């Protein structure tokens, strides 16, 4: 009986350790993406969208509208890479300035910057993985090809 108890607690402990280390790994990866993303953000996004994602008047939209970001999660990679031409409504305010493309950004950099934006400024969207970005980019490339 005593041995059984020991085995059981050892098993529980190992499950706990495995679970925790996985979570820890995930958390470390997210932190790494966020830190890298902040650098990308400062270089490519901050001028218009602001250090706190506050935007500027009705010239440049804020990045604090979590509902908008969640709704358009699948398109965000394409917006970052290829820009945005049409009008868009964020936080109830219409914007039509358009956003320039960032053709030089690699998929991993886009994953970094979206992870940063998605988990700052009051947003909590969890991680954008490289796979998610690649899927998103492939979708808008094929959509663009159909239009042509």
Partner 1 sequence: MGMRSSFLLVGSYVLSSVVACQQPTVKTLPILGSREPVTEVVDGQTVTDTVYHTIADFRLLNQDSVFIDNRTFDNGVYIANFFFTHCPSICPTMQRNLLKVYEKYKGDERVRFLSHSIDFRYDSPSVLKTYAEKLGVTNDQWQFVTGSKAEIYGLSDSYMVYTKEDAAVPGGYDHSGHFLLVDQSRHIRGAYDGTDEAQLELLFDDLATLLKETRD
Q: Which residues bind partner 1 (CB under 8 A)?
A: 46-48, 50, 56-60, 97, 100
CA distance 148 to 139: 15
Q: Which is nearer to partner 1, 84 or 127 (CB)?
A: 84
Q: Which is nearer to partner 1, 102 or 115 (CB)?
A: 102
Q: Tell me the closest approach of the beta carbon of residue 45 to partner 1, in angstroms.
A: 10
Q: Tell me the closest approach of the beta carbon of residue 114 to partner 1, in angstroms.
A: 20
CB 50 within 8 A of CB 62: yes
Q: Tell me the closest approach of the beta carbon of residue 83 to partner 1, in angstroms.
A: 11
CB 96 within 8 A of CB 122: no
Query: Nearest-CA neighbor of 118 among 79, 74, 64, 71?
Result: 64
Q: Which is nearer to partner 1, 65 or 132 (CB)?
A: 65
Q: Tell me the closest approach of the beta carbon of residue 56 to partner 1, in angstroms.
A: 5
Q: Which is nearer to partner 1, 111 or 117 (CB)?
A: 117
Q: Tell me the closest approach of the beta carbon of residue 77 to partner 1, in angstroms.
A: 21
Q: Which is nearer to partner 1, 24 or 94 (CB)?
A: 94
Q: How far, rounded to the nearest angstrom, does the alpha carbon of residue 14 sit from its chain's CA centroid? A: 32
CB 59 within 8 A of CB 73: no
CA distance 46 to 104: 17
Q: How far, rounded to the nearest angstrom, does the alpha carbon of residue 8 sit from its chain's CA centroid? A: 40
């Amino acid at each position: 009986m005593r041995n059984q108890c020991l085995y059981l607690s050892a098993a529980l402990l190992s499950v706990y350790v495995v679970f925790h280390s996985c979570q820890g790994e995930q958390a470390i990866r997210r932190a790494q993406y966020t830190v890298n993303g902040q650098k990308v953000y400062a270089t490519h996004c901050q001028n218009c969208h602001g250090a706190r994602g506050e935007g500027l008047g009705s010239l440049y939209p804020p990045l604090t509208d979590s509902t908008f970001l969640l709704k358009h999660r699948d398109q965000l990679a394409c917006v970052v890479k290829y820009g945005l031409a049409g009008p868009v409504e964020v936080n109830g305010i219409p914007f039509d300035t358009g956003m320039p493309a960032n053709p030089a950004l690699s998929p991993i950099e886009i994953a970094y910057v979206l992870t940063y934006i998605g988990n700052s400024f009051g947003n909590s969207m969890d991680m954008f993985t490289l796979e998610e970005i690649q899927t998103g980019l492939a979708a808008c490339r094929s959509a663009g090809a159909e239009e042509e």
